[in-house]
Amino acid sequence: MPPESAANSAITSVLREDRVFLPAPEFSQRAHIKSLDEYQELYRRSIESPETFWGEQAEKELVWFERWHSVLNWNPPLAQWFSGGRLNVSYNCLDRWLNTPYADKPAIVWEGEPWDQNKPAQQKTLTYRELHQEVCRFANVLLKLGIRPGDRVIIYLPMIPEAAIAMLACTRIGAVHSVVFGGFSAHSVADRIADSGARLVVTADGGFRRGAIVPLKKNVDDALELKDTRGALLARTVEKVVVVCRASNPIEMRDGRDLWWHEQMQSVPADCAATPMDSEAPLFILYTSGSTGKPKGILHTTAGYLLGSKLTTRLVFDLRDEDIYWCTADVGWVTGHSYVVYGPLANGATSFMYEGAPNYPEPDRFWSIIERHRVTILYTAPTAIRAFMKWGVEWPRKHDLASLRLLGTVGEPINPEAWMWYHEHIGGKRCPIVDTWWQTETGAIMITPLPGAIPTKPGSATLPFFGVVPEVVNDKGEVVPCNSGGKLVIRKPWPSMLRGLWGDPERYRQVYWSDVKDSYFTGDGCRQDEDGYFWIVGRIDDVLNVAGHRIGTAEVESAIVSHPKVAEAAVVGRPDDLKGQALVAFVTLKGAIKPDANLREELRQHVAKEIGPVARPDDIRFAEALPKTRSGKIMRRLLKQVAAGGEIKGDTTTLEDFTVLARLSQTDE
């Protein structure tokens, strides 16, 4: 089915919501952007003269070692922002606060997951001064271990302050980090090492998650042993592994390769000059699933990314000096990069970090944290909100949430019911909600309300941020009429845009810039209403959004097919009340192998081992054959309907094997 009609049909299912929430006057008066008029005027300027607008922002927001000579060189689809400039990200997040009243302000406040009724939770606070020292120390450790500007470092850690320290230390010396989410498997770690050519891995003996220990170091050990199809080690570029002692979990340390973080940190000085980096120097690579093949290494560079994450953090969350700001994302995802680490610290904010699960030891952990730490801003995912709704309102009711003044969501469309629940039961009907749309590729928030200025409608991410030109178009790239579905594209370059895919410039062009002429294609379906508000429908490519996590169907399919008993697999999404989408895999088996419940479980575990528990299919359905078009393409539309339990509609005459349809709907044992 063409993506356009996919978007259309999905849109009709979005609940039409007439309710509009106006910013409260007392909020607007104190806000950075105080009215719709002010927003519109600034937005107009940012679009009409982007170079003037961004030049001014870069000057105001960032500390430069050397000024740039041109704001933008745009050679589509290649952008260079602030060419000729030199700066350092860790300097902008840390050093700039040292001789100011911010030096002794908490930069990171952290709480570990373990919980004992009789003991306070494990906590740590690092002021800007302390964080600076830790970052300098770890930067010196990296230098001592031979890491140089441009070298890649894999960070595979739980949500502990060391994750932010390691990221910032890389930026301090110009090394390029690639954070791998702790929920990914040894295979995924090995693939990312192999693709990035990383020389060093930072990990931990374990991390706590829902009372259990995630064996991160063990996964790294396994990753470093994995071989490719020719028998060569996959992750052969790694020379050193630095291990944080977090969980007192027994592990093996290999002589000459593995080093303890705390031992290394003792033997180095607490100052380290920040290396002046080119504006366009690679800052980090973050792997994310696409519609084909293995995850892509999204590349972000220094100045534009920092400017985007800094400005959006301040304006979207209307950040004030006294805020205790909590973004619940893991640093393994882009949200954790931009809105746990770089955006807040570049603003001198206090960023709260929590290690574990929202329902450990009970479903009120988040609310207990908010009460105890007086959190003022909460930024989380719709999936989490839907889980809270399911667990019941008695959990937040046990706690005083009066410190909250602003709420945010990200990662997937929020259904109006969840929006209203968040508004009423968490926000006490007084907190604005910012529903922020963006992607790993965009680096920073792109479509969002500004809380003092833009009226909100539950379920809509509302209007574009400054300098962002989104449009909803058809396959020819023409803007579709108001309230019709189409593809969401971005027409103009923006500072925090990805600069490419690591090691694959051609794929960058082809994936993002070939679908709609001269535009960046987001992969999302969308409609724009009569007020110009954007309503994101979700992915219209073969990428699924499961519990706010991006999962490519192709990646899961190849993981399933790598199982010796499997002949073919097709993975589709099924609507899920809690997770937004659930993963359903249709599988055909080799030869005479017969499906059974054990094999189903074995395949689910196989995917968890190949990719990580996040990608484990919710359902596996065996089929004798997969429905294909004459040209041999799997008919995913049909499979989606079967997966959703709906009737099979549409033209099926192109099926190569008609009988397969009937069988398919019945083969789920």
What mask of x and - would describe binding to ligand WTA in positions 245 to 284, judged by CB under 6 A?
Answer: ----------------------------------------
**Edge-to-edge, what's the strand order for the sheet holding 486-490?**
470-473, 486-490, 520-528, 534-539
User: Which residues make Cβ contacts (< 8 Å) with residue 136, sequence separation at least 6?
Assistant: 169, 172, 269, 270, 271, 272
Q: Are 268 and 137 within 8 A, CB to CB?
A: yes
Query: Could you give the 3-state DSSP secondary structure of residue 477?
Result: coil
What is the rounded distance in angstroms from the CA atom of residue 660 to the CA atom of residue 624? 7
377 binds ligand WTA (CB under 6 A): no
Among 28, 275, 436, 528, binds ligand WTA (CB under 6 A): 436
HSE, side-chain direction, 13 A CA sphere, residue 190: 22
178 binds ligand WTA (CB under 6 A): no
Q: Are 664 and 622 within 8 A, CB to CB?
A: no
341 binds ligand WTA (CB under 6 A): no
Q: Where are the beta strands (DSSP E) in 346-412?
A: 350-354, 377-380, 406-410
Specify the DSSP element, H or E, that contains 136.
helix 128-144
Segment interacting with ligand WTA (CB under 6 A) among 109-117, 340-348, 516-524, 600-608? 516-524
Cβ-based nearer residue to ligand WTA, 373 or 549: 549
What is the smallest separation between the CB atom of 303 and ligand WTA, expressed in angstroms? 21
523 binds ligand WTA (CB under 6 A): yes
What is the smallest separation between the CB atom of 534 and ligand WTA, expressed in angstroms? 9
Cβ-based nearer residue to ligand WTA, 224 or 551: 551
What is the smallest separation between the CB atom of 346 and ligand WTA, expressed in angstroms? 18
Segment interacting with ligand WTA (CB under 6 A) among 74-82, 120-128, 404-412, 512-520? 404-412
335 binds ligand WTA (CB under 6 A): yes
Environment class of 595 (CB within 10 Å of its CB; exposed 0-12, middle 13-18, buried 19+)? buried
What is the smallest separation between the CB atom of 403 and ligand WTA, expressed in angstroms? 24
What mask of x and - would describe binding to ligand WTA in positions 279 to 318, judged by CB under 6 A?
Answer: ---------x------------------------------
435 binds ligand WTA (CB under 6 A): yes
Adjacent-strand bridge partners of 530? none
What is the rounded distance in angstroms from the CA atom of residue 573 to the CA atom of residue 509? 27
Cβ-based nearer residue to ligand WTA, 88 or 522: 522
- What backbone torsions phi and psi does residue 494 show, to the nearest 5 degrees? -135, 155
Segment interacting with ligand WTA (CB under 6 A) among 390-398, 502-510, 518-526, 594-602? 518-526
Cβ-based nearer residue to ligand WTA, 133 or 338: 338
Only one residue has tokens 């205790």, namely 324
HSE, side-chain direction, 13 A CA sphere, residue 514: 7
What is the smallest separation between the CB atom of 328 and ligand WTA, expressed in angstroms? 13
440 binds ligand WTA (CB under 6 A): yes
What is the smallest separation between the CB atom of 172 and ligand WTA, expressed in angstroms? 25
Among 251, 274, 461, 571, binds ligand WTA (CB under 6 A): 461
Only one residue has tokens 């991390």, namely 207
Count of beta carbons in the 10 Å neighbourhood of residue 228: 13
Among 413, 467, 617, 627, binds ligand WTA (CB under 6 A): 413
Among 28, 92, 203, 439, binds ligand WTA (CB under 6 A): 439
Cβ-based nearer residue to ligand WTA, 95 or 515: 515
Cα 299 off chain centre by: 14
336 binds ligand WTA (CB under 6 A): no
545 binds ligand WTA (CB under 6 A): yes
542 binds ligand WTA (CB under 6 A): no
What is the rounded distance in angstroms from the CA atom of residue 253 to the CA atom of residue 263? 13
Cβ-based nearer residue to ligand WTA, 85 or 416: 416
Residue 548: DSSP 8-state: T
Cα 660 off chain centre by: 38
Query: Could you give the 3-state DSSP secondary structure of residue 660?
Result: helix
Cβ-based nearer residue to ligand WTA, 184 or 586: 184
What is the rounded distance in angstroms from the CA atom of residue 86 to the CA atom of residue 302? 9
Segment interacting with ligand WTA (CB under 6 A) among 160-168, 190-198, 229-237, 430-438? 430-438
Cβ-based nearer residue to ligand WTA, 240 or 640: 640
**According to DSSP H, which parts of 197-248 are helical?**
216-225
Segment interacting with ligand WTA (CB under 6 A) among 84-92, 207-215, 432-440, 620-628? 432-440
Cβ-based nearer residue to ligand WTA, 88 or 312: 312
Q: Are 489 and 471 within 8 A, CB to CB?
A: yes
What is the rounded distance in angstroms from the CA atom of residue 18 to the CA atom of residue 21? 10
438 binds ligand WTA (CB under 6 A): yes
**According to DSSP H, which parts of 515-658 are helical?**
553-561, 597-610, 636-643
Environment class of 591 (CB within 10 Å of its CB; exposed 0-12, middle 13-18, buried 19+)? exposed
What is the smallest separation between the CB atom of 97 and ligand WTA, expressed in angstroms? 27
Query: Could you give the 3-state DSSP secondary structure of residue 114?
Result: coil
What is the smallest separation between the CB atom of 608 and ligand WTA, expressed in angstroms? 20
Q: Which residues bind ligand WTA (CB under 6 A)?
A: 288, 333-335, 410-413, 435-440, 461, 522-524, 536, 538-539, 545, 550
